[in-house]
A and B are shown apart, each in its own frame.
Chain A
Amino acid sequence: MLVETHLLFLPSTQLVVQSIVSAVLFGMIFALVAAGLALIWGVADIVNFAHGEYMMIAMYLTLIASNDLGIDPLLMIPVNATLLFIAGYLTYVLVISKVMDAPMLAQIFTTFAILLILRYGMLYIMGPHSVSVDNFVFSGHTTMYGISLSHPRMATAVVSVIALVAFLLFLKYSRTGKAIRATAQDWDAARVMGIDTDRVLAITWGLGIAAVGVAGTMVATFSPIQPELTPATWTIKAFAAVALGGFGSILGAAAGGVVIAFVEHVGGALLNPSFKELYVFLAFILALIFKPEGLLNRGGAK
């Protein structure tokens, strides 16, 4: 009924290799998106349901810059990172800071409200049609041993890895990064030590959203954009990655992103490709039910 005869059908080696290649390339971008979500979750202890919506905004900015103004998506990376950093910073200052001490219900529905406003505001402005970026400096694809390598996806993977490494190095070595980690560990202690936790949280939101800004810019080069489907898909995948990797662990979330990419692409190729989103959701719910503390973590998550 559900998984049909596809189990009996043996996919060719080429198909499997192709799906592994896709999984690796997609894994990098999932890792970046999930890392942004995990940072906000871990430090501010708030689930950002509107994560995919911010990503969609970066995608639309890239689209407008590329199709209407002729600016290459590659040049939009720093622009979008800056703009989305500001957007995240302002989101915290204007909205999230007011519910930091509120009941959890209020926190959940605040980010849900942001989701509705951004998603449907964008739907109102851009219309419900699916659109895509026309020009990108790395277009086309190379075929190697029968495996097709799409240039935009490779560029995306490379940019994602660079962004992710920069992100991790910033958190590890910069003064602000240390302040962020201190705040994540113990809020009150950080405050006592003279850290302006409010500002740190605003920067955390800015960084988390800037990460999806970079991701969105790159994804826009090969993936069509639709205001309802695009953000929903990416938010869920990021949630799944964070659930797999352990809440609050950024490296874990990035690893979770890679796992999710494998579940989606290799699972899709081996089993029934039309169910690949189901495999992602199942991985998500199984991770939550059986391993809520994550794959890498040993501590409690509750």
Chain B
Amino acid sequence: MTYLEALRRAVSGTQLRFRRNLREVTVITIVGLLVIPWLTNNDFLLNTFIFIFLFSMLGHGWNILGGYTGQISLGHAIMFAAGAYTTAILYVYYGVTPIVGIWVGGLVAVFAGVMLGVATFHLRYHYFAMATLAAALVIRVVFFRWDWVGGATGIEYPFDQFATLYSLTFRGKMPYYYLTGAFALGVTILVTILDRSKLGTYLKAINMDEENAKNTGLDTYRYKMYAMGLSSFVTGLAGGLYAQYTMYIDPWSTLRLLQNIDIIMVAIIGGVGTVLGPVVGSMLFIPVREYTRTALGGEYTGIDWVLFGLVLLFISLYRPGGLLNRYSGRWGKE
């Protein structure tokens, strides 16, 4: 079977057929991704791939809470910023190597996520979505005015320790490519395990009918919190990697309102509540986003967002479960 055919079947097929071809598709994709930097050193291409990897992580992160558990968060930029800022602050202010900082960033993101969960998990459906959005707006305003985290100017990495292992910064894009790629692969494996685990089943049960899940004795609050923790950790790691890659973070780039939407676009284009959805979603969305950004003249013409709006509208109307999902399950509708 050719690769393309396998991929096509994997994308359009039922879960069963999907699983049969999964191994070939996965192996060929991974091998292909491993050799790409050796075939080309086109910066635009590698940059696009680095963002594909980062956004598959973010998509996975959102998907654990939004897709599997059915809690539609519009505030994942908070956890992203938590990871990015922690990594940057630990390194720039205290000289802690980002090799450690990224993981600490993940843990700080978990803390932020759990706090958000404590505050908002008693809300359902759009109330939860709105509360997380409001939280993201509050954090955004705070970060813009908070001098210790650099305020509106943000935090810049010092250049004197550039390209050392300790600072985890590199010349050229290839090391970043493998670094983010390895993290993205790791997270994908984590989600695969989650998908087949008991916890994954509980989360899907909460998504299907929270009231019913509660009545059958499931401690839904606790499991929602686990989902939030995992989701935040993954999102925070991606934030830390983003800080390492750009070496400069500010509230504009990490806490934009559209940052929340970028993450969700990736998660829902591919397929909500599926393992490979975020991966496929970022492979489809990020190249278009990077291309339109450069080709159509930057963010201020807005025409790229009109295009994404139309895509989002199409998906919402005709494939509400995303492209990977054949059936459109229920995400929280009474």
A residues neighboring B (CB under 8 Å): 1-2, 47, 95, 98-99, 101-110, 112-117, 119-124, 128, 227, 232, 236, 239-240, 243, 247, 274-275, 277-278, 281-282, 284-285, 288-289, 292, 301-302
Contact = CB atoms under 8 A, between A and B. Distances in A.
Interface residues of B, number: 49
B320 A121 contact: no
A104 B306 contact: no
Interface stretch (B13-21, B45-53, B123-131, B224-232): B123-131
B302 A285 contact: no
B301 A124 contact: yes
B315 interface: yes
8 contacts: A105-B320, A108-B129, A112-B312, A115-B309, A116-B308, A123-B305, A128-B300, A284-B137
Given A120-B306, A278-B141, A110 B333 contact: no
B127 A95 contact: no
Contacts of B306: 116-117, 120-121, 124
Interface in B276-327: 300-306, 308-310, 312-313, 315-317, 320
B134 A104 contact: no
A288 B134 contact: yes
Interface in B86-126: 119-120, 123-126
Contact of B126 (A47, A102, A117, A285): A47
B193 interface: no
A123 B142 CA distance: 27
A287 to B, nearest CB: 9
B259 to A, nearest CB: 14
B248 to A, nearest CB: 22
A273 B35 CA distance: 55
Nearest to B328: A103
A129 to B, nearest CB: 10
Contacts of A285: 119, 131, 134-135, 138
5 residue pairs, one from A and one from B, having the closest CB atoms: A116-B309, A120-B302, A123-B302, A106-B320, A113-B313
Given A105-B332, A278-B142, 18 more contacts: A102-B333, A104-B333, A105-B268, A109-B264, A109-B268, A109-B315, A112-B261, A113-B316, A117-B306, A120-B309, A123-B301, A124-B306, A236-B134, A243-B130, A278-B138, A281-B134, A285-B134, A288-B131
A110 B313 contact: yes
A292 B312 CA distance: 29
Contact of A105 (B124, B130, B138, B272): B272
A282 B134 CA distance: 8
Contact of B134 (A101, A103, A247, A284): A284
A102 B319 CA distance: 10
Contacts of A232: 257
A123 B302 CA distance: 6
B309 A117 contact: yes
B138 A302 contact: no
A281 B141 contact: yes
Contacts of B301: 123-124
Given A104-B125, A281-B141, A288-B127, A99 B316 contact: yes
Interface string B123-165: 1111101110011011001100111100000000000000000
A301 B119 CA distance: 17
A115 B265 CA distance: 14
A110 B317 contact: yes
A101 B334 CA distance: 10
B143 to A, nearest CB: 11
B263 to A, nearest CB: 13
Nearest to B322: A105
Chain B CB within 10 A, most for which of A116, A275, A282: A116
Nearest to B329: A103
B305 A282 contact: no
Contact of A98 (B66, B127, B146, B317): B317
Nearest to A126: B302
Contact of B330 (A103, A120, A274): A103
Contacts of B238: none
B80 interface: no
Given A123-B300, A281-B134, A108 B309 contact: no
A2 B142 contact: yes
B331 interface: yes
Contacts of B237: none
B72 interface: yes
B131 A114 contact: no
Chain B CB within 10 A, most for which of A2, A105, A278, A302: A105
A103 B333 contact: yes
Chain A CB within 10 A, most for which of B119, B272, B312: B312
B235 to A, nearest CB: 18
A98 B316 CA distance: 10
A116 B145 contact: no
Nearest to B147: A1
B142 A239 contact: no
Given A120-B305, A121-B306, A124-B302, A2 B146 contact: yes
